[in-house]
């Protein structure tokens, strides 16, 4: 039975493609963007997290854990220790739901069962299923089967990708998906390495390869003040969008800090703790860089 590692299935999503959608978030991402709002999707394995603001410090987790007595200290168990085998007994014992396991092995049938529950809403709204992450290219074989199953059930699909991965996998998945949502963040390679952890050359090469063959390509550009919202970067992205065939839409996504608490839960230091969302004036300035290049943007 083919399975994949899923960390969330979001129903009634309206921001991951047209219409009402079910978005399947797959665990594992080759990037480590400094502003990531889904850090729980970065690691390619299941992990235990704790929402400290919910923790009652009751010690029920330690009592339930098979290794609790052997782990140094008292009271609440640390979330990251070598003895943990993710048995979930501490999760089940937690009275406040503070402890959570992120990432579950799901079969194709299990994921499809969730998607099919809302087929009537897709049909009425022009929506469908979106495969996101993390990065769906890290689980290409699993996503390929899901896309094939969706097509067999008449469900429209979207692939949401950062573009860093095997070109062949991207083109195969892109061919099956009705549309591809492709993230473009920074055009300068050094800045891309600094903020995303990988070079952007493979991403841009994959984007050009996909744009040559796929007729429904949406570019999505996060707008992060002080990181990538300068005229040089946004104009370069706009010029790229204008040069590519089959780019049907460019969406500017304003930065938000909903990932701040999530980073603490997975044990990451967040680089932008004091960063504010862009103002309406900053978003208008960003739009104008694209419009100056003849590229219309949404929203």
- pLDDT band at residue 77, thresholds of 50, 70 and 90? confident
Nearest to 113 by CA among 6, 201, 29, 220: 6
Write down the domain spans for the chain: 3-44+104-291, 47-102
Q: How many CA atoms lie within 13 A of 87 on its CB side?
A: 13
Mean pLDDT score of the chain:
95
| Mean pLDDT computed over 229-235 | 98
- Which pLDDT value is given to residue 82? 77
Question: Counting Cβ atoms within 10 Å, is residue 43 exposed (0-12), middle (13-18) or buried (19+)?
Answer: middle
- Give me the residue label for tokens 């923790």: 55
Structure pTM?
0.94
Most confident of 68-77, 206-215, 267-276: 206-215
The answer, yes or no, to whether residue 210 has pLDDT greater than 90, is yes
What is the per-residue burial (b if ≥16 Cβ within 10 Å, else e) of 194-232?
ebbebebeebbebbebbbeebebbbbbbbbbbebbbeee
- Higher per-residue confidence, 257 vs 7: 7
Top-tier CATH class for 47-102: alpha beta
- Close Cβ partners of 87 (under 8 Å, ≥ 6 residues apart): 66
The token pair that represents 288 in the structure block: 């104008």
Q: What is the mean pLDDT of residues 193-197?
A: 97
Average pLDDT over residues 92-115: 96
Mean pLDDT, range 27-45, rounded to an integer: 95
Q: What is the pLDDT of residues 270-292, one digit of tens each?
A: 889 899 999 999 999 999 999 99
Check if the beta carbon of residue 136 is closer than 8 Å to that of residue 26.
Answer: yes
What's the token pair of residue 246?
């089959």
Long-range contacts of 270-279 (CB under 8 A, 24+ apart): 271/34, 271/35, 272/34, 272/35, 272/224, 272/227, 275/35, 275/224, 275/225, 275/226, 276/225, 277/225, 278/223, 278/224, 278/225, 278/229, 278/254
pLDDT at 259 over 90: no
- For the chain, the residue count is 299
The fold of the 3-44+104-291 domain, in CATH, is TIM Barrel (3.20.20)
Q: Please give the pLDDT value at position 71.
A: 87
């Amino acid at each position: 039975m083919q399975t994949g590692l899923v960390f969330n299935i979001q129903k009634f999503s309206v921001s991951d493609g047209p219409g009402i959608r079910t978005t399947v978030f797959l665990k594992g991402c080759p990037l480590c963007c400094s502003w990531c709002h889904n850090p729980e999707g970065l690691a390619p394995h299941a992990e235990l997290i704790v929402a400290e603001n919910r923790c009652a410090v009751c010690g029920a987790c330690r009592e339930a854990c098979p290794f609790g007595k052997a782990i140094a200290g008292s009271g609440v168990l640390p979330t990251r220790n070598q003895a943990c085998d993710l048995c979930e007994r501490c999760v089940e014992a937690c009275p406040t739901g503070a402890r959570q396991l992120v990432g579950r092995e799901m079969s194709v049938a299990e994921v499809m069962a969730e998607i099919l529950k809302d087929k009537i809403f897709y049909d009425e709204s022009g929506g469908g299923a979106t495969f996101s992450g993390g990065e769906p290219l890290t689980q290409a074989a699993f996503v390929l089967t899901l896309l094939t199953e969706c097509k067999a059930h008449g469900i429209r699909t979207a692939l949401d990708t950062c573009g860093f991965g095997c070109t062949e996998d991207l083109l195969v998945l892109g061919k099956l998906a009705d549309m591809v949502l492709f993230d473009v963040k920074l055009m300068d390679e050094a800045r891309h390495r600094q903020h995303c952890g990988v070079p952007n050359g493979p991403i841009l090469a994959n984007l050009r390869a996909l744009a040559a063959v796929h007729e429904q390509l949406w570019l999505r550009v996060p707008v992060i003040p002080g990181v990538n919202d300068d005229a040089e970067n946004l104009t370069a992205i706009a010029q790229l969008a204008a040069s590519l065939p089959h780019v049907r839409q460019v969406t500017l996504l304003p930065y938000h800090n909903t990932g701040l608490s999530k980073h603490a839960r997975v044990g990451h230091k967040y680089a932008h703790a004091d960063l504010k969302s862009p103002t309406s004036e900053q978003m208008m300035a960003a739009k104008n860089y694209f419009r100056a290049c003849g590229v219309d943007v949404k929203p």
